[in-house]
Amino acid sequence: MPDAYERHLVPVFFRPFAVDLATRAAALRPRTVLELAAGTGALTSALLGAVPTASVVATDLNESMVTAGSAREPRAEWRQADAQELPFEDGGFDLVLCQFGVMFFPDRPAAYAEVRRVMAPQGSFLFNSWGPVASHGFAAAFQAALEESMPGSAPPFLRNVPHGYTDPAAVAADLATAGLTLTATEEVTLTGTAESAASVANGLLTGTPVSAALQGREDAQAIQAAVTEGMTERLGTGSVTAPMTATVYLARRDV
């Protein structure tokens, strides 16, 4: 999964927003940074490019992601860690960062409470989350093609998880429960560029939990071919582009 994720999804989905988030992080002038759900290190690399003097600890729940990320970005310290039970002392980081990871936390207030615990008193929590599926050109095309190919049984993963935490009011409430105050939100739309619709289809089919729904199915290859064809019909042939919308959040500790 990390290889497919890095090869097909990171350049298209995550690198453009990593540059955006790293630029925002640099404006905060952090010295000690904790990154949650770092994946294979797209944001980690962008952050270290923007703030080369910062000390960065990058974490992910998935050990294989940590292994891949540490090989790709050795300037950071990499740790396998659960965001709901962080293995760090209180108040050790003046910035906690998370790119497109909060949607995956099973208990967000619990994870946010851990963020608050490890933040310095004047620290900041900077993170983003995807908008609805319809606001992401690649995800919308993929989900539509998947539902056509698996009528009645298409996995709702994209709708329910990566694109299922879209209400700033809900985010603010979860943060408040953990003793954090949401101080700024901004909706950001960037353009993703992929070498082909087939590449994105491959990444989403093999580099995300959608792959589990196809394992063991006799028609798995036929479904993959149909999804690829459906995405190509919607996005075009050759190199393809699509708009992608996310919301950026900045939170600070309550007094």
CATH number of the domain within which 246 lies:
3.40.50.150
Q: What percent of the chain has pLDDT over 90?
A: 91
What burial class does residue 91 get, using C-beta atoms within 10 Å of its C-beta: 0-12 exposed, 13-18 middle, 19+ buried?
A: middle
pLDDT higher than 80, residue 50: yes
Residues 6 or more apart in contact with residue 232 via CB below 8 angstroms: 196, 197, 198
Q: What percent of the chain has pLDDT over 70?
A: 99
Number of domains the chain is built from? 1
pLDDT higher than 70, residue 187: yes
Kindly write down the DSSP assignment for every residue of 138-193, as one continuous string.
Answer: HHHHHHHHHHHHSTTT---HHHHTTTS---HHHHHHHHHHTTEEEEEEEEEEEEEE
For residue 113, give its domain range.
2-253
pLDDT in tens, 238-250: 999 999 999 999 9
Pairing outcome for strands 240-253 and 119-130: antiparallel
For the entire predicted model, the pTM comes to 0.95
* 23-32 core/surface letters (b: 16 or more CB in 10 A; e: else): ebbbeeebeb
* Model pLDDT, residue 255: 66
Residue 110: pLDDT band by 50, 70, 90 thresholds? very high
* Model pLDDT, residue 49: 97
* Model pLDDT, residue 108: 98
Euclidean distance between CA atoms 190 and 246, whole angstroms: 9
Q: Residue 208 gets which letter from DSSP?
A: S
Pairing outcome for strands 180-194 and 240-253: antiparallel
Return the residue matching tokens 């988030």. Answer: 21
Write down the H helix ranges in 5-121: 15-27, 42-50, 63-72, 108-118
Inter-residue contact 81 to 60 (CB < 8 Å): yes
Residue 1: pLDDT band by 50, 70, 90 thresholds? low
Residue 115 CA from chain centroid, whole number: 17
pLDDT higher than 80, residue 254: no
Residue 39: pLDDT band by 50, 70, 90 thresholds? very high
Structure tokens at 54: 């910062």
Euclidean distance between CA atoms 19 and 16, whole angstroms: 5
What burial class does residue 218 get, using C-beta atoms within 10 Å of its C-beta: 0-12 exposed, 13-18 middle, 19+ buried?
A: exposed
* Model pLDDT, residue 247: 98
pLDDT higher than 90, residue 23: yes
Residue 5: pLDDT band by 50, 70, 90 thresholds? confident
Euclidean distance between CA atoms 155 and 137, whole angstroms: 18
> 120 in helix, strand or coil?
strand
Residue 222: pLDDT band by 50, 70, 90 thresholds? very high
Return the residue matching tokens 């293995």. Answer: 87
Residue 207: pLDDT band by 50, 70, 90 thresholds? confident
